[in-house]
Amino acid sequence: MPGCLVCGSISPLISRAIGVCRTCLKEKPEEALDIALKNHAETRMEFRLPPRPPRTSGGVPCNLCAAQCVMGEGEAGFCGVRGVGGGRLWSLSTTDAGLLTYYLDPHVTNCCNAWFCPAGTGCGYPRYAVTEGAEVGYYNLALFFYGCSFNCLFCQNWTHKVLSCGKKVTVKELVNLTLKNGRVTCWCWFGGSAEPQLPFAINASRTIIEEKGERVCRVCWEWNGDGHPTLVKRAGELSYISGGNVKFDLKAFDPNIHFALTAMSNERTLKNFELVYQE
């Protein structure tokens, strides 16, 4: 039976992957998090991802998400999507092309908001939905990003860490296939999470909203929410004007438990959650 490596207590409720109990995370956070983060680092080796966000003195900074990596020569950022080589920042995702796969998901989908969003209910018809009820016969374009700025040990979509499986997909490709298929009524950015690829996702979303005319095509985000606040605000605006949703995956309110689960702080996520709500 799994046990806590700090206090020695044994319980089926203690995660072997995390290695410590809830009580120690709250009462002895330094010791407990040291163990949890070592376990995170070990799992990341398998995917050739850096154990922690790099902080190399004199390195190249990236501010797309709260990891705020500072990468030295030959290093990759925490997400693995960006890095430094030849003294320059490289990125597997640009404003014109992202690293993802996509598929059509028939409505009503298993999207976590489908029980109240326009696709599942017709809410906002006729401006934001094509039918007065569920949009049966229509599709969500599911956009699965590779890479994430968190390292949740229980990630439901862990394959996003295998970056080599992501395809280079351009804004033009997504916009053209949507314009050609009148049955697509929403885009859902998920994965992985959008933060390391927000410049691409925002550019693609803005383009489809501009080019779709009066047609319904909502833009939704399903993310961990720790992106740069300026980009998060812009993404939220695109959802707002298209009738879409912004879905924050809030893993835990307690900062230490959040750290143990994801290897990252929840501070930025909670601030962005408030920002999107307020603005």
Interface with ligand SF4 (CB under 6 A): 53, 62, 64-65, 67-69, 77-79, 81-82, 109, 111, 113-114, 117-119, 140, 148-152, 155, 157, 160, 186, 188, 191-193, 195-196, 218, 220, 224, 244-245, 249, 262
Nearest CB to ligand SF4, comparing residues 29 and 227: 227
Q: What SS3 class is residue 204?
A: helix
Nearest CB to ligand SF4, comparing residues 22 and 82: 82
- Using CA atoms, how far apart are residues 229 and 268, in angstroms rounded to an integer? 8
- Using CA atoms, how far apart are residues 262 and 210, in angstroms rounded to an integer? 36
Nearest CB to ligand SF4, comparing residues 1 and 88: 88
Nearest CB to ligand SF4, comparing residues 4 and 65: 65
Shortest distance in whole angstroms from residue 104 CB to ligand SF4: 12
Shortest distance in whole angstroms from residue 185 CB to ligand SF4: 7
74 dihedral zone (left: phi>0; alpha: psi -120 to 50; beta): left
Shortest distance in whole angstroms from residue 32 CB to ligand SF4: 20
- Using CA atoms, how far apart are residues 131 and 127, in angstroms rounded to an integer? 10
CB-count exposure of residue 279 (10 Å: 0-12, 13-18, 19+): exposed
Shortest distance in whole angstroms from residue 239 CB to ligand SF4: 8
Distances (CA, A) of 232 to 59, 81, 103, 151: 25, 18, 24, 20
